[in-house]
Amino acid sequence: MSAESRPAVAEAVVVPVRSGGRSRVTTAVLTYVVAVALAAAVSALFILAMRGDVALAFRTILSSSLGSVAGIAQTLNKISPLLLGSMAVMLARQGGFFNIGVDGQMYAGAIVATGLAFAVGGALPLVLMLPLALLAGFAGGAALGAVPGALRARWGVNEIFVTVMLNFIAYYLTEWVATGPWNDPITGEAITRVLPESATLPMLLPAAGAHAGVLIALVMSAAVAVLLGRTLLGYEIRTVGDNPRAATLGGVRLGRITLVTLALSGALAGLAGAIEVVGYHNRLILGLTPGYGAMAILIAVLGRMHPIGVAVASALVAVLMVGADSLQRSVKLPASAGAVFQAIVVLCVLLVEARAARRARG
């Protein structure tokens, strides 16, 4: 007790952050420009090492993801799960929690939305069915997020383990419903039958195949920003994330905030899962999320756990993901090159940020 030493903490807190000259926002943006330039340089070296054409590779990434309406549509469709997933991670993180269960929560939302559509979709018009399906996704994700929330609030169980384990449960549950009760026998794969017409998300760019999911994602992101910044609940979530003991002494109910935060985080992911079902696949498939959960964590880190930053980072990663798919064809790079680029970007941003933080400390 008395032998513990706190001077390191005290010192880190007492030393003032340099604030003169540039504003905090300018500094943050500048940091990112440097980081992206660095990432481009390192990626170029990587492409050279693979004996690829650097200029062609970069041009391919941009032209395939942003150079055509079809490309833009693909990019927009990717933004929706990435943005909602990373908002889920960010919201949890603001409360001091790690939600590693975005994938599982997406499946949970997708299962509930699909089930509801099969159960009542034939009888309801689109104006009723579609909101219901989205709400079902939200509720399904919330239910799966509430599990680690309740365990953490009641017994202090680490939410990382619980969310990771629930990923497996949700995945195999999806496999079961997609191969069993709801299976589409024609495909012979873990894919369900097509949803009723009424459970279909309208198109944003009908010809190019972009659904309206990105709009929902943007609205929800704005809602999360308002929740965190302008409501008492959001304020309490942030106090718990910043210093749970101080929050407790300030009358914040730790258990309740833990449960609500993780449930809301799961709900955002569940909504993403429902959008994938009603917007993109029109049915539930086992490969619904190709690791969006892991990408969401990277995006939340890239976006500095700030709503605007997370939105920008989601768009950036969506471009990279869509662009990387076409690298294989044009530059003959392996498909995994896309993942390497994403990793390079993340590492460069973290590196430049760490350097900037260190300099600010003097």
Partner 1 sequence: MAERVHMSGIGKRFGETVALAGVDFTAARGEIHGLLGENGAGKTTLMNVLSGLYRADRGQIAIDGVAAAISAPSDALRHGIGMVHQHVELIPTFSALENVLLGREGGRLWLRPERHREDIEALAARFGLALDLDVEVRRLAVGVQQKVEILRSLYRGVGILILDEPTTMLTPQEVDTLFGTLRAMADQGLTVVFITHKIREILANCDRVTVMRGGLQVATLARAEMDEGRLIELMIGERLQSSSPIAQASSGDVVLDVRDLAVQGERGRPVLADCTFRVGAGEVVGVAGVAGNGQRELADALAGALRPAGGRILLGGRDVTAASVRTRIAAGLVVIPEDRIADGLLPGLSVAENLVLGLHPFAFGGGLSFDRGRARALAREAIAEYAIRARSEDAMAVELSGGNIQKVLVARAMAQARAVGGRLLVATNPTRGLDVRATEFVRRRCLAFAEAGGGVLLFSEDLDELRQLCHRIVVMFRGAIVADFRRERFDPYAIGRLMAGAANPAAP
Q: Figure out which of the listed residues 51, 207, 232, 358 binds partner 1, where binding follows CB under 8 A.
A: 232
| Least distance (Å) between residue 146 CB and partner 1 | 21
| Least distance (Å) between residue 92 CB and partner 1 | 16
Q: Would you count residue 1 as binding partner 1 (CB under 8 A)?
A: yes
Q: Figure out which of the listed residues 68, 158, 187, 231 binds partner 1, where binding follows CB under 8 A.
A: 231
| Least distance (Å) between residue 22 CB and partner 1 | 14
Q: Mask of contacts with partner 1, 236-275, x by CB under 8 A?
A: x-xx-xxx-xxxxxxxxx----------------------
Q: Would you count residue 9 as binding partner 1 (CB under 8 A)?
A: yes
| Least distance (Å) between residue 241 CB and partner 1 | 8
Q: Which of 181-207 are b and which e, b meaning 16 or more Cβ less than 10 Å from the residue's Cβ?
A: ebbbeeeeebbbbebbebbbbeebeee
Nearest-10 crossing angle of helices 337-361, 307-330: 140
Q: Would you count residue 3 as binding partner 1 (CB under 8 A)?
A: yes
**Count of C-beta atoms within a 10 Å radius of residue 89:** 29
Identify which of 318, 300, 297 has the alpha carbon closest to the alpha carbon of residue 309: 300
| Least distance (Å) between residue 236 CB and partner 1 | 8
Q: Figure out which of the listed residues 71, 121, 234, 266 binds partner 1, where binding follows CB under 8 A.
A: 234
**Contact by Cβ (8 Å): 73, 209:** yes
d(CA 6, CA 335): 49
d(CA 200, CA 137): 14
Part in contact with partner 1 (CB under 8 A); list of ranges 113-121, 186-194, 201-209, 227-235: 227-235
Identify which of 302, 289, 347 has the alpha carbon closest to the alpha carbon of residue 78: 289
Identify which of 111, 122, 158, 155 has the alpha carbon closest to the alpha carbon of residue 270: 111
Q: DSSP letter for 284, please.
A: -
Q: Would you count residue 103 as binding partner 1 (CB under 8 A)?
A: no
Furthest-apart CA atoms within the chain: distance in Å = 70
| Least distance (Å) between residue 154 CB and partner 1 | 14
CB of 6 or CB of 51, closer to partner 1? 6
Beta strand pairing status for 203-205 and 210-211?
Answer: antiparallel
Beta bridge partners of 203: 211
Nearest-10 crossing angle of helices 102-120, 126-155: 140
Q: Would you count residue 131 as binding partner 1 (CB under 8 A)?
A: no
| Least distance (Å) between residue 19 CB and partner 1 | 6
Q: Figure out which of the listed residues 20, 125, 185, 188 binds partner 1, where binding follows CB under 8 A.
A: 20
Q: Would you count residue 18 as binding partner 1 (CB under 8 A)?
A: yes
Q: Would you count residue 98 as binding partner 1 (CB under 8 A)?
A: no
Binding site for partner 1 (CB under 8 A): 1-7, 9-10, 13-20, 229-236, 238-239, 241-243, 245-253, 360-362
